[in-house]
Structure 1
Amino acid sequence: MRITNNMMVQTMLNNLNRNATRLNQAQIQYATGKRINKPSDDPRGIAKSMRLRSDISAMEQYERNVNDAYSFMDTTETAIRNMQQEGMNRIRELTVQASSETLTQDETIKIQAEIEEIRQQMIDMANYTYSGKHIFSGTKTNQPLLDSQGYYQMDLVKYENPAMNDDVWNFETSTREKIQVNTLGFEVFEAESNEIVRAEVVAGENTTIELPYADGSGYMELTILDADDSEPTKGPDGNWTVGADWVDVGTPIDETVKEAMKEIKAVEGERIIDYQFEVADYQQSNYDGTVITSEEITYLKAVPVNGAIVDTFETQAAWSLDEGQFATPDFDNGTPQSFSFGGAEVVMVQGDPTALPAGVAISEELASKDKIVLTVNGDPNDISQEDYMESYAEALNKLSDQRGSQVQGFTFVGDADGLKAIAPKKSDTLHNKKFFSGSLLPVAPADREDFKKDQLVVAGKGKHQYIVEGQRAGLFQLLDDLEKNMLDGNQEALSHMLDDIDAHMDSMLTARSSTGARANRTELILYRIEDDVLNFRELMSKIEDADMAEVSMNLMNEENVYRASLNVGARVIQPSLLDFLR
Structure 2
Amino acid sequence: MRITQSMMTGTVMRNLNNIMKQMDKTEYQMSSGQKYRLPEDNPVGTVQTLTYRSALVETNKYLDNAREAGIWLDNTDSAFTEVTSVVQRVRTLLEEANTDTMTPEGRQAISEEVAQLADHLKQIANTTVGGRYIFGGTNTANPPATFSGTSYSWSGNDCEIQVEIDAKATVPMNSIGKKIFADDVTGTTDPNQQGLLNFLQSAATTLGAGNQFNYLGRLDKLSDKVLEEQANIGARENRIEFTNNRLQSFEQTMTDNLAQVADADIAQVIIDLKTQENVFRSALSAGARIIQPSLADFLK
Fold conserved (TM > 0.5)?
Answer: yes
Residue by residue over 1:251-307, the C-alpha shift from the partner in whole angstroms, topping out at 9 and shown as x without a partner, is: xxxxxxxxxxxxxxxxxxxxxxxxxxxxxxxxxxxxxxxxxxxxxxxxxxxxxxx62
Q: Secondary structure at the match of 1:114?
A: helix
Match of 1:152 among 129, 151, 154: 154
Q: Which one-letter code corresponds to 2:200 in the other structure?
A: L
Residue by residue over 1:302-322, the C-alpha shift from the partner in whole angstroms, topping out at 9 and shown as x without a partner, is: xxxx62xxxxxxxxxxxxxxx
More strand, by proportion: 1
Question: Paired residue for 1:138?
Answer: 137
Residue by residue over 1:501-553, the C-alpha shift from the partner in whole angstroms, topping out at 9 and shown as x without a partner, is: 11111101111111122122222222222222221111111112233454344
Indicate if the aligned counterparts of 2:108 and 2:210 stay in contact, CA closer than 8 A.
no
TM-score, normalised by the number of residues in structure 2: 0.86
Match of 2:169 among 166, 177, 189: 177
Question: Paired residue for 1:452?
Answer: none
Question: Paired residue for 1:121?
Answer: 120
Question: Paired residue for 2:197?
Answer: 476
Q: Which one-letter code corresponds to 1:104 in the other structure?
A: T
Matches within 5 A, 1:332-351: none
Post-superposition offset of 1:33: 4.1
Structure 2 unaligned residues grouped into runs of 5+: none
Residue 236 of structure 2 is aligned to residue 518 of structure 1: yes
Distance in 1 of aligned mates of 2:298 and 2:82: 104
Q: Secondary structure at the match of 2:154?
A: coil
Number of residues paired by the alignment?
292
Distance in 1 of aligned mates of 2:31 and 2:206: 82
Structure 1 residues 171 and 471, CA gap change in structure 2 (3 angstroms): farther
Q: Which one-letter code corresponds to 1:532 in the other structure?
A: F
What is the root-mean-square deviation in Å for CA atoms of aligned residues? 2.7
Indicate if the aligned counterparts of 2:73 and 2:173 stay in contact, CA closer than 8 A.
yes
Q: Secondary structure at the match of 1:144?
A: coil
Post-superposition offset of 1:8: 2.2
Residue by residue over 1:473-520, the C-alpha shift from the partner in whole angstroms, topping out at 9 and shown as x without a partner, is: 5223433443455356655x62xx222111111101111111122122
Indicate if the aligned counterparts of 2:118 and 2:197 stay in contact, CA closer than 8 A.
yes
Post-superposition offset of 1:23: 2.5
Distance in 2 of aligned mates of 1:558 and 1:569: 16
Distance in 2 of aligned mates of 1:119 and 1:80: 14
Structure 1 residues 20 and 101, CA gap change in structure 2 (3 angstroms): same
Question: Paired residue for 1:43?
Answer: 43
Q: Secondary structure at the match of 1:172?
A: strand
Question: Paired residue for 1:557?
Answer: 275
Identity %: 29
Distance in 1 of aligned mates of 2:188 and 2:16: 88
Residue by residue over 1:19-53, the C-alpha shift from the partner in whole angstroms, topping out at 9 and shown as x without a partner, is: 22113323333454432243333222122112222
Indicate if the aligned counterparts of 2:164 and 2:171 stay in contact, CA closer than 8 A.
yes
Q: Which one-letter code corresponds to 1:10 in the other structure?
A: G
Q: Which one-letter code corresponds to 2:88 in the other structure?
A: N
Distance in 2 of aligned mates of 1:502 and 1:178: 32
More helix, by proportion: 2
Distance in 2 of aligned mates of 1:531 and 1:15: 48
Structure 1 unaligned residues grouped into runs of 5+: 158-166, 191-305, 308-466
Match of 2:219 among 495, 501, 507: 501
Structure showing greater relative contact order (alpha-carbon pairs closer than 8 Å, 6 or more residues apart): 2
Q: Secondary structure at the match of 2:152?
A: coil
Question: Paired residue for 1:95?
Answer: 94
Indicate if the aligned counterparts of 1:187 and 1:508 stay in contact, CA closer than 8 A.
no
Indicate if the aligned counterparts of 1:62 and 1:174 stay in contact, CA closer than 8 A.
yes
Structure 1 residues 145 and 15, CA gap change in structure 2 (3 angstroms): same
